Amino acid sequence: MIYALVDKETLDKKSVSLVDFINIINNIQAPILQYRNKTGSLTDIKSDILLIRSLYKGKIIINDYIELIEYVDGLHVGQEDLYSFGKSPQMSIKKIRDQIGRKWLGLSTHTMDEILIANELDLDYIGLGAYRTTNTKSEAIVYGESLLNIAKYSKHSVALIGGVRIDDIFDESITYKVIGSGLY
């Protein structure tokens, strides 16, 4: 399954409209879309989410902006943002759950230690990466094939993140956990 990442900054740099990119995602029938915009105003991000909602029928996950949870199907939080909600991962996830209810909740992970901590949290999935280098996060450490081994230890579904391509094929022993990733 493809978990499509819509990174607004990357689309702008490549002069790809949000509408055109959503059409691509619809054509490949990606059932999950994560919208990330680290530089836009809350008003612009909300406008983009409403546009996406009008064009896309799958699940929409927003990166970081819990304030917009009413317009989406879930929230994705990075490791660096997790502690802005509380002093511990457990406290943070409880505060987030109090605000989003049973909407999807995902957390970025990179290492076995982070997966083991995530296993104790009330999450729906983890993002695990970076699988390859990517233009969206040049500072990301690339773990490559080693991620496939540590993904097996997650009790949650795993979205491989960072440079995953539509034509990637993964070992059958982990595909039941991998929900994909992709595009930009």
Give me the pLDDT at residue 160, please. 83
Q: What is the distance between the alpha carbons of residues 38 and 6, in angstroms, rounded to a whole number?
A: 12
Element (H, E) at 118: helix 112-118
Query: Could you tell me if 129 and 181 are in contact, meaning their C-beta atoms sit under 8 angstroms apart?
Result: yes
Beta pairing, strands 59-63 & 104-109: unpaired
**Angle at the Cα of 173 from the Cα atoms of 172 and 176, rounded to 5 degrees:** 80
Tens-digit pLDDT profile for residues 25-35: 999 888 999 99
What is the arrangement of strands in the sheet containing 59-63, beginning at the earlier edge strand?
3-7, 32-36, 59-63, 74-77, 104-109, 125-129, 157-161
What the block records as the tokens of 113 is 């230690």
Domains and CATH numbers, the chain: 3-175 (3.20.20.70)
Q: Mean per-residue pLDDT for 87-98?
A: 96
Mean pLDDT of the residues in the chain: 87
Q: List the beta strands (DSSP E) in 19-121.
A: 32-36, 59-63, 74-77, 104-109
Q: What is the distance between the alpha carbons of residues 136 and 18, in angstroms, rounded to a whole number?
A: 16
Alpha-carbon distances, residue 77 vs 51, 89, 118 (angstroms): 22, 11, 12
What the block records as the tokens of 164 is 């995953």
Tens-digit pLDDT profile for residues 95-138: 999 999 999 999 999 999 999 999 999 999 999 887 777 766 66
What the block records as the tokens of 57 is 């029928």
Tens-digit pLDDT profile for residues 4-23: 889 999 999 999 999 999 99
Other Cβ atoms within 10 Å of 47 Cβ, number: 13
